[in-house]
Amino acid sequence: MSNYRAPVDDIKFILQNVLNIEALWQSLPALSEVDFDTADAILQEAAKISQNVIAPLNREADEEGCRWSEHGVETPVGFKEAYQTLCEGGWCGLGGNPEYDGMGMPKSLVAAVEELIQGSCMSFGLAPMLTAGACLAIDAHAETSLKQRYLPKMYSGEWSGAMDLTEPHCGTDLGLIRTKAVPNEDGSYSLSGTKIFITWGEHDMTENIIHLVLAKLPGAPAGTKGISLFLVPKFHVTDDGTLGERNAVFCGSLEKKMGIKASATCVMNYDGAKGWLVGEANKGLACMFTMMNYERLTVGVQAQGVAENAYQAAVAYARDRLQSRSVTGVKNPDKEADPIIVHADVRRMLMSMRVLNEGGRAFYLYVAQWLDIQKYTEDEAQGKKASAMVALLTPIAKAFMTDVSLDAAILGQQVFGGHGYIREWGQEQHVRDIRITQIYEGTNGIQAMDLVGRKTVQANGELLHYLIEEISHFIDSIPADSGLTLNGSALKNSIAELQAITQKIISESKSQPDILGAVAVDYLHFIGYVIYGYLWLRMAHVAETDDSGKFQHKIALANYFFQKHLPQTLSLQRKIEAGVSELLTLSADQF
């Protein structure tokens, strides 16, 4: 059923031609042995698995879903075998710490592999994604003995990970959690409480599941300063590394969801489950945030990956479906109608999907590059810039990529007409699946508040300065005889507007704090369009200066982005300038 083709060539174009990634890797001591041939081989192998093993599961698994019983959660047909294939290929530890048998590959490669896995079946891809996130937190904060005991088996994929944060009464505001952790005499803790929305909290693909759980110690301070992080295994691990007793953490039920139906979204009950503290007491939220930059980027990658899948299907359908004649005359005289790809409105949808998807791909690889620099550079100035860029770009990558990917998937469904609404064809599933990426791992509203509040106003615009400086420098480097100068000027105008609205927000927020929430999402989108514009300009620049001519289509795509998408900043600017507007006029009961 699936005709998904892993977009390896485009990933390589961005990594190699746009980002010159090999030079970066080799400049960072920890990555100096990663060369592009290795990366290429990894991508080719990931392409095979995603196309041949994972993508074929996607449609049927959505219909089948997971099945709960008191004995556990049964996954859809084929998931166990596909997971086994991932494990055998060593994919679960691709970005893991080599000290504990991880492969230590850079995020700029791992993220590309994630696109392929998530894009071919997001429900399935969530399992290795959550495991990788849990490993990051354990690696960064747990005691060595815990790392030794858990990380190698998680990198190998034999055990999976889950992140247990949300409770029925709190998601965004984790300071309200009620799960309790009481110290035991042996240095462990007993956890009691209920967590909800726990992705892959229970399943039959691995022999053990390692939960990272937020809970409160007795007498902990109120709010977010009283949260601690605990490692709670489904099965205890004996000192010789074999599995011991079943722990008192059980899945009470599965949620029925809009999409990602083949993933198990669990209610998890802790009834005196035994766990171990990870990091310092009451610093649990900070420990979770260690892995947030990686996870949030991956959520953007999920959305972009699925939107790519939707694009490919839409193109195939538009070439195949015969309906009406072109307004400029018959194009397909042997048949009773022309393929719909000849119609300008259909092309509009395909081109829009494409520039958003490829812009998104360039964006996530660009952010991943900064994550690698931040993690591995030994140069202080470079490290400082990398930290600023990661802090600034992460909420944008998460929220902007997921928002425009939903738009893209909706277009991909629209191309199919009535068939787009029928489950069998697969396009509506992409819309349903992507929709969660705007919600989980911090809603897009929360991302926008993070961007405009902590990352902009509280930083007095300094993080943004790094980005603007880089983009301005690039625009200035475009030679006057280049075909890109018009787009360069347009982007420069957008940047000037961005600086003006940023100053306005910073200044008005002092007397009117509600302006932050009022403009947050529009502001995030504004910067998102600017970044995509920057990356399209860089892609077009490569195309213009490449002698082979094989990237010429990127120039047309870049022009399309500048003419049909960047202008969105005009209305965003006006909306941001309107500030709080009438948001506070009505009382709650007037709604």
Instruction: Find the Cα–Cα–Cα–Cα dihedral 369, 96, 446, 427, rounded to 10°.
Output: 80
Residue 441 is a catalytic residue = yes
All residues at 6 or more sequence positions from 34 whose CB lies less than 8 Å from its CB, including other chains = 22, 25, 26, 105, 106, 109
Choose the binding region for a second copy from 23-31, 98-106, 407-415, 481-489 (rule: CB under 8 A).
Answer: 407-415
Can you tell me the distance from the alpha carbon of 416 to that of 443, in angstroms, rounded to the nearest whole number? Answer: 29
Catalytic one of 441, 469, 497, 508? 441
Choose the binding region for a second copy from 79-87, 106-114, 208-216, 430-438 (rule: CB under 8 A).
Answer: 430-438
Taking the CA atoms of 111, 117, 120 and 121 in sequence, report the sign of the dihedral they define: negative
Copy the structure tokens of residue 548.
Answer: 């082979």
Nearest Cα neighbor of 315 from 230, 149, 457, 427 is 427
Q: How many residues bind a second copy (CB under 8 A)?
A: 97
- Shortest separation between residue 512's beta carbon and a second copy, angstroms: 9
Q: Which of positions 46-65 make contact with a second copy (CB under 8 A)?
A: 63
Q: Which is nearer to a second copy, 188 or 352 (CB)?
A: 352
Does 480 help bind a second copy (rule: CB under 8 A)?
no
Strands (E), 81-219: 159-164, 180-183, 189-199, 208-215
Q: Which of positions 547-586 make contact with a second copy (CB under 8 A)?
A: 553, 556-557, 559-560, 563-564, 567-572, 574-575, 578, 580-586
- Bridge partners (DSSP) of residue 268 are 195, 251
Q: Which is nearer to a second copy, 6 or 371 (CB)?
A: 6
Does 226 help bind a second copy (rule: CB under 8 A)?
no
Q: Which is nearer to a second copy, 480 or 588 (CB)?
A: 588
Terminal alpha carbon distance of the chain:
47
Does 346 help bind a second copy (rule: CB under 8 A)?
yes
Q: Which of positions 446-475 make contact with a second copy (CB under 8 A)?
A: 448-449
DSSP H or E segment with residue 231 = strand 228-233
Q: Which is nearer to a second copy, 188 or 413 (CB)?
A: 413
- Shortest separation between residue 449's beta carbon and a second copy, angstroms: 7
Q: Using N-to-C axis directions, what is the helix angle for 344-376 and 107-120, rounded to 10°?
A: 140
Q: Identify the residue among 108, 228, 247, 438 touching a second copy (CB under 8 A).
A: 438
Choose the binding region for a second copy from 25-33, 185-193, 294-302, 438-446 (rule: CB under 8 A).
Answer: 438-446
Copy the structure tokens of residue 186.
Answer: 């042996």
- Shortest separation between residue 427's beta carbon and a second copy, angstroms: 9
Q: Identify the residue among 33, 60, 158, 173 touching a second copy (CB under 8 A).
A: 173
Q: Identify the residue among 489, 513, 545, 550 touching a second copy (CB under 8 A).
A: 513
For residues 102 and 232, the answer to whether their CB atoms sit within 8 Å is: no
Q: Identify the residue among 413, 456, 487, 502 touching a second copy (CB under 8 A).
A: 413
Does 169 help bind a second copy (rule: CB under 8 A)?
yes
- Convert 482-505 to b/e letters by CB count within 10 Å (16 or more is b): eebeebbebbeebbebbeebbeeb
Q: Identify the residue among 246, 319, 384, 454 touching a second copy (CB under 8 A).
A: 319
Copy the structure tokens of residue 322.
Answer: 């015969």
Q: Identify the residue among 51, 52, 166, 192 touching a second copy (CB under 8 A).
A: 166
Q: In angstroms, how far apart are the furthest CA atoms of the chain?
A: 83
Amino acid, res. 77: V
Does 498 help bind a second copy (rule: CB under 8 A)?
no
Can you tell me the distance from the alpha carbon of 22 to that of 35, in angstroms, rounded to the nearest whole number? Answer: 6
Choose the binding region for a second copy from 11-19, 69-77, 368-376, 406-414 (rule: CB under 8 A).
Answer: 406-414
Q: Which of positions 183-212 make contact with a second copy (CB under 8 A)?
A: 196-197
Q: Identify the residue among 318, 368, 467, 540 touching a second copy (CB under 8 A).
A: 318
Copy the structure tokens of residue 399.
Answer: 């929220």
Choose the binding region for a second copy from 53-61, 90-98, 118-126, 169-177 (rule: CB under 8 A).
Answer: 169-177
Cα angle 580, 584, 587 (rounded to 5 degrees) comes to: 165
Does 327 help bind a second copy (rule: CB under 8 A)?
yes
Pairing of strands 249-254, 265-278: antiparallel
Give the active site residues. Answer: 441
